[in-house]
Amino acid sequence: MIALTLTEISEIVGGELHSTPTTLSATDTVSGLVDTDSRLIRPGDIFVAKPGEVTDGHNFVGTALAAGAALALTERVVDEDIAQIVVADVVVAIADLARAVVARVRAAGDLKVVGITGSNGKTTTKNMLNAILSAQAETVAPRASFNNHVGAPLTILRTTYDTRFLIIEMGASHVGDIARLVSIAKPDVGIVLKVGLAHAGEFGGVERTVLAKSEMVTELTPSDVAILNADDYRVMGMAEKTVARVRTFAMDTDQATFGARGVESTRTGTDFVLHTESGAEYPVHLRILGEHHVYNALAALSAADALGIALEDAIAALGTLARAERWRMEVLGGRDDVTIINDAYNASPDSMAAAIRTLAQITPRDRRTVAVLGVMTELGEIAGDEYDRIALQLVRLNISQLVVVGQAARRLHITAINEGSWDGESVYCEEADAAFEYLSTAIRPGDTVLVKSSNSAGLRLLGDRLGEFFTC
């Protein structure tokens, strides 16, 4: 974070400073990182004592102090010998602090901010863009999936006066969430990847999802750039809701600013030819598996181009990215030519369908495909229909073996059996341990295995076990 005195921080967050003769005082400055996790605190950092559903951050102020924290943001005075700024709501406070920090850095230099949202692909696009921009200048991007009302401000607070690029991943659970994040970061470039069925149940329907995601572009100015997915009509409808300059990306179309042709997916990566509206073409190689990640690459390349990065440099940087993210299309295994694709960090109907298509596309015709699937959460009343749709896709793509794990996903197993003339090709396991016992003997040499589910199912750990089991 930029250096600020405790008085400045207190004024920004509307808090009351409590210090002692042995702690920092009002005129002292802090410039460390800001975090809600006491385990990540290092000397000079600021600890945010956030109350939670399971535990209360105020209980860990002492732990943060022992780790070297210089200041604590709290909602009540804690009996620890550390300077404390007491506020009514620490989550609001870090948002206010982030807004002030990004404004000061922008005013002092040439900071450019990129916001990314969409039902799928945010983290992968963020990682792709980070690979491109960090090769050019100091870049701040979220760790993991820090994209909510807490994670995004914490990311912003890592910005310093040396930061040239700031990437903010913006997720939402409710209408208004992205608008709040946009009001803090004020992106110069806003990317909307896709409006899908992820969290549709939580939002109350796909149209409410559209409303929430459109908040990314509605507050952009005429000098800003909105980057939209031309293959998603819901996203393209947002072009009418922004005064920003609109750029588009799409597959196989001459109507988009950036498009992709000749997409080829194998077990070693994804290749395509990038073509621009000017007619220029560039070969692109991704080490990341899956045709659906081409969309993410197009969005990242479009943003880089809008920021003045040479496409040749951006494409070269993309080629260095070994994986999308931990547990996202992560390639494991290798023994007996068995490939394990661990993509079980999250799952929506769209992302599951895309992963299954990738499984079919990258597997040689003479080899078997194995899909290990678990629950897709937060779908609400549309869950049954979406499981049926995925089951039909599995049958139509002639997936060799289906293993469904967990009671919440059992409908997928039943529908797959009903849709196809399968005799043992679909297996149901109540728990991940049972699935591992089955798969450790059922997987054959040369098989390609996809493990896909929402995070809550824990199948990412099953994917890791299978990857380790089949490691050379």
Q: What is the pLDDT of residues 89-102, one digit of tens each?
A: 999 999 999 999 99
Same topology for domains 93-318 and 330-469, yes or no?
A: no
Q: For the chain, which residues make up each domain, given as ranges?
A: 4-88, 93-318, 330-469
Name the architecture of domain 330-469: Alpha-Beta Complex (3.90)
Summarised one tens digit per residue, pLDDT across range 278-306 is 999 999 999 988 888 999 999 999 999 99
286 and 271 Cβ atoms separated by less than 8 Å: yes
Task: Enumerate residues 6+ apart whose C-beta is below 8 A from 322.
Answer: 287
Q: How confident is the model at residue 324 (pLDDT cuts 50, 70, 90)?
A: confident
244 pLDDT exceeds 90?
yes
189 and 303 Cβ atoms separated by less than 8 Å: yes
403 pLDDT exceeds 80?
yes
Give the pLDDT score at 171: 86
Side by side, which strands form the sheet with 16-18?
Answer: 16-18, 83-86, 71-74, 46-48, 34-35
284's enclosing H/E stretch is strand 281-286
**DSSP type of residue 77:** -
Give the pLDDT score at 472: 76
87-96, 169-178, 462-471 — which is least confidently predicted? Answer: 169-178
23-27, 186-190, 313-317, 321-325 — which is least confidently predicted? Answer: 321-325
Q: Topology of domain 4-88, per CATH?
A: 3.40.1390
Paired tokens of 97: 């602090």
Q: What CATH homologous superfamily does 93-318 map to?
A: Mur-like, catalytic domain (3.40.1190.10)
**Distance between CA 67 and CA 46 in Å, rounded?**
11
Q: How confident is the model at residue 422 (pLDDT cuts 50, 70, 90)?
A: low
Helix axes 311-318, 292-306, angle to 10 degrees: 140
118 and 191 Cβ atoms separated by less than 8 Å: yes
Q: How far, rounded to the nearest angstrom, does the alpha carbon of residue 124 sit from its chain's CA centroid?
A: 6
Which has the closest alpha carbon to 426: 445, 408, 442, 447?
442
Summarised one tens digit per residue, pLDDT across range 136-165 is 999 999 987 677 889 999 999 999 999 999
pLDDT cut 70: percent of the chain above it: 97
187-201, 277-291, 293-307, 377-391 — which is least confidently predicted? Answer: 187-201
Give the pLDDT score at 145: 67
5 pLDDT exceeds 80?
yes
